[in-house]
Amino acid sequence: MSKILIDLSKDSTLPASWYHVGSQKLLNEILEEVPVKEVFLPQILTCLEEIHSLIKATSSHNLPTGLHLGRVGRLGALLAKKADLDWKERLECLYGGWIHDVGKIYIPENILNKPGRLTQEEYELIKGHVNYGCELLKDYPHLQPFIAPVKYHHERWDGNGYPHSLKGLDIPITGRIISLTDAYDAITSFRPYPPYQRTHEEAIQEIKRCAGSHFDPVLANLFCEIEVEEIENTV
Ligand SMILES: [Fe+2]
Ligand SMILES: [Fe+2]
């Protein structure tokens, strides 16, 4: 493993239950490319501590959502690396992915955990998590550089997403990346209703089917090319 510039296994950064060797590897690779480290690293650490407090708050409201945040951020940074993005955009995917659903703190837990189909009213309520998250993050000015994945992760390539109905390349690339990794994690995670949990292969089929409608086709193709072992080591 490359040099550790910020140690995620320390209590001061992420809680032990949250330490993940994949997070450390992705963060190391990003930090290696950061210029003027003495200026940027303290800022990056401050942001991490704020993200840590948001992750803890989300996890204590709803643990499955907290764990989902971890996986989606890591997969986002992995896809951003495959897409050859620079260190800032890769960090935006990692950090922004870690907080993309923070607005779910305001959604009642019985709705988040509901076994079965949501009513239209419940679905509309859940959709509010995007704006709730952006509102909450106004109190965290350091985290503004990581807001795009929070704001745009439910936009769709064809313009039929929410809440802004942006289309194609108008959606910032970090939002398009987190939209993909969010969907992959949603498909492969356990749900308390059929089909319960789908496989990596089924998720890849679904992503291919939705490339060009739901997802950026170029990014979807790149994601589908990632080796399954690499994804398994990241989630
Ligand atoms: Fe979301
Ligand atoms: Fe999500």
Domain boundaries along the sequence of the chain: 16-234
Q: What is the DSSP string of 172-204?
A: -HHHHHHHHHHHHHHHHS--SSTT----HHHHH
Ligand number nearest to the C-alpha of 62: 2
Query: Are residues 92 and 175 in contact, defined by beta-carbon separation less than 8 angstroms?
Result: no
Q: How far is the CA of 11 from the centre of ligand 2 (A)?
A: 25
Asked if 155 contacts 175 with a C-beta cutoff of 8 angstroms, the reply is yes
| Alpha-carbon dihedral 6, 175, 231, 226, rounded to 10 degrees | -120
Out of 1.10.760.10, 3.20.20.60, 3.30.390.30, 1.10.3210.10, which CATH number does the structure's domain 16-234 have? 1.10.3210.10
- pLDDT in 10s for each residue of the chain, 235 residues: 567 888 888 755 555 556 788 999 999 999 999 999 999 999 999 999 999 999 999 999 999 999 999 999 999 999 999 999 999 999 999 999 999 999 999 999 999 998 888 899 999 999 999 999 999 999 999 999 999 999 999 999 999 999 999 999 999 999 999 999 999 999 999 887 788 899 999 999 999 999 999 999 999 999 999 999 999 999 9
- In the reported structure, the alpha carbon of residue 185 is separated from the centroid of ligand 1 by a whole-number distance in angstroms of 11
CA 130–ligand 1 middle distance (angstroms): 6
> If you measure from the C-alpha of residue 32 to the centroid of ligand 2, how many angstroms do you get, rounded to a whole number?
28
Separation of 153 CA from ligand 1 center, angstroms? 6
Question: Phi and psi of 215, rounded to 5°?
Answer: -115, 155
Q: Tokens 């969010």 identify what position?
A: 182
> What distance in angstroms lies between residue 39's CA and the mean position of ligand 1's atoms?
32
Say which residue the tokens 């950061």 belong to: 34
Ligand nearest to the CA of 181: 2
**How far is the centre of ligand 1, averaged over its atoms, from the C-alpha of 129 (Å)?**
7
Tokens of 208: 């291919």
